[in-house]
Chain A
Amino acid sequence: MWRTIDWCYIIYGVSTQLSTILLATRPEMYWWKSFMSNLFWDLPWAIAVTKIGITPDTAWKWHGIIFGGSLVWNGVVTIAWIGLWGWFLKRGKVIWGLTGTEWRPALF
């Protein structure tokens, strides 16, 4: 049960739950969060996976690093963005008019 990357799924559960705050309130921040988490982990590995020459012997090791690491990194990014979200709200930073009936271009 706890082999390879199973423990990473706990982080996945927590970060999914936390990111609902961003999704249901400020989708633009949700997008930035997801963008960061993909750009700095999954994208480099998608490129690297063609270069490193994975063999059946090393497959599970790489699997753990690529897919498990992705979940861990996503958790870190999510926590950072939730912090940022709270900070923005406390400082009264611009909220996009996404919930209104009219389009309002915003600064952020």
Chain B
Amino acid sequence: MVEVLNEGLPRVSYLIIGDKSSRSVSSRVQLSNTLIAFQAILGLIMSIVFVSCAQQFANTFVPEPTRSASLTYVRIAAFSALTSTVEVAVGYSTRALDKPDVPLLINGVKTAANIVLDMLFLSPFRVAKIKPTVNTQAAIRLSCDALAALSGLTYYLLKSRRHVTEYREGPGSDADTGKSLRPSLKAWSILARPGFFTFIESAFRNIIYLWLVSGVVKMGETYATAWGIFNTIRWGLVMVPVQALEASASTFIGHYWGVWRKRVGIENHRAKAKNKDLICRYSIQELQSTDFIFGSSSHSSELHRHLSSSIYLRTLRHRHRNPDFPPTDIPLYPPLCSLHICFRSSG
């Protein structure tokens, strides 16, 4: 259920906050702030609901023999709703703002805290003189999540503020000064329109999946455990890299979609795309030169930071030799190219 919240509004950040062609830096930061504030409120409400309904949850998703023992566990774990909504909202919006170091910090802090706390409280050579139970583990998990979410949020706030200040000091941003960065209802309504679709998508998918899983759990403890282990292994092996790639691909696609929409006109709702727009047949250098379309060079340096320095240098050299580059007719919706860039930047 928290997954539905996390996949509702935050997933539109690629489309909305990632659109750096038609939106100013401060409006994108304002949208991010709105997203995070809204998600945090929803997460808090969810946590309270979970704590009060712990019994019913245990009845549905835990097999009979272990049910009573897991009630406290469910209660402690309930607060992960709040930490996870904050964490996910910060993660999505910062990726769309081209600040992937924020989600990296979140996960880094979480892992480091987990190692330290596990050593102190759970390991065979633990310092704390207690008998660790499954609830100790839940408490440790919750404190790791809370610490990660808090540090991520702080880092994001510092970083976005500096980003806006830098942008406002730069050229061509006069109209941008004095714009509020506070969460607003207007910003929320911009997010909410596409967010409606991502929300119902996730809700429908998860309801059916939970229905299916509860059918599986009813078959008994052995099968439920085997199934759980199978899923955990697959999750680690397959889904983590897939989702990492998905996040960076979505970011680039969001940027390129924004560029294409600006090129055809944002109000042009019947724009036709050419084959060249859809399937990229352009060299990486040509793609790199999109800062002509992005406007100022301070914007494009963000994009470049994602890419390996060799590609970056090659681009600079190329532009130095060809000052008239690029041609005005650059294709700007190349999904396959954005994948290509992801591979390049990670490799």
A-side interface residues toward B, CB under 8 Å?
6, 9, 12-13, 16-17, 20-21, 23-25, 27-28, 30-31, 34-35, 38, 42-43, 45-46, 49-50, 54, 56, 59, 63, 66, 86, 89-101, 103-104, 106
Contact = CB atoms under 8 A, between A and B. Distances in A.
A17 B249 contact: yes
Closest A-B pairs by Cβ, 9 of them: A92-B272, A89-B273, A24-B253, A49-B215, A24-B14, A27-B197, A31-B197, A24-B254, A31-B201
A54 B224 CA distance: 13
Interface of B: 11-12, 14-16, 18-19, 22, 189-190, 193-195, 197-198, 200-201, 204-205, 208-209, 211-212, 215-216, 219, 222-223, 227, 234, 237-239, 242-243, 245-246, 249-251, 253-254, 257-258, 261, 266-267, 269-275, 277-278, 333, 335, 339
Nearest to B19: A99
Contacts of A27: 11-12, 15, 194-195, 197-198, 201
Contact of A56 (B209, B223, B333): B223
Given A23-B11, A23-B14, A27-B198, A97 B272 contact: no
Nearest to A42: B208
B15 A98 contact: yes
A95 B270 contact: yes
A95 B198 contact: no
- Main secondary structure, interface of A, reads helix
Given A35-B204, A89-B278, A42 B209 contact: yes
B342 to A, nearest CB: 9
Contacts of A25: 15, 253-254, 257, 333
B11 A106 contact: no
Nearest to B249: A20
Q: Which of A31, A93, A95 has the most CB of B within 10 A?
A: A31
Q: Which of A50, A56, A98, A104 has the most CB of B within 10 A?
A: A98
Contacts of A106: 269
Contacts of A43: 208
Contact of B242 (A12, A38, A45): A12
A99 B339 contact: no
Contacts of B22: 99
B238 A35 contact: no
Contact of B15 (A45, A89, A99): A99
Contacts of B195: 27
A100 B257 CA distance: 13
Contacts, number: 136
B208 A9 contact: no
Contacts of B275: 90
20 contacts: A6-B234, A17-B249, A20-B335, A23-B11, A24-B250, A24-B257, A27-B11, A30-B197, A30-B198, A34-B205, A42-B205, A42-B209, A42-B212, A43-B208, A59-B219, A89-B271, A93-B270, A95-B271, A99-B15, A103-B189
Contact of A46 (B197, B211, B238, B266): B211
Contacts of B14: 20, 23-24
Given A24-B249, A99-B19, 16 more contacts: A12-B238, A25-B15, A25-B257, A27-B197, A27-B201, A34-B205, A49-B215, A54-B219, A56-B223, A86-B273, A89-B272, A91-B272, A95-B270, A100-B267, A101-B190, A106-B269
Nearest to A90: B273
B253 A100 contact: no
Given A31-B201, A46-B211, A101-B190, A86 B278 contact: yes
Contacts of A30: 197-198, 201
A17 B242 contact: yes
Contacts of A103: 189, 193
B202 to A, nearest CB: 8
Contacts of B261: 99
Q: Which of B14, B212, B261, B274 has the most CB of A within 10 A?
A: B212
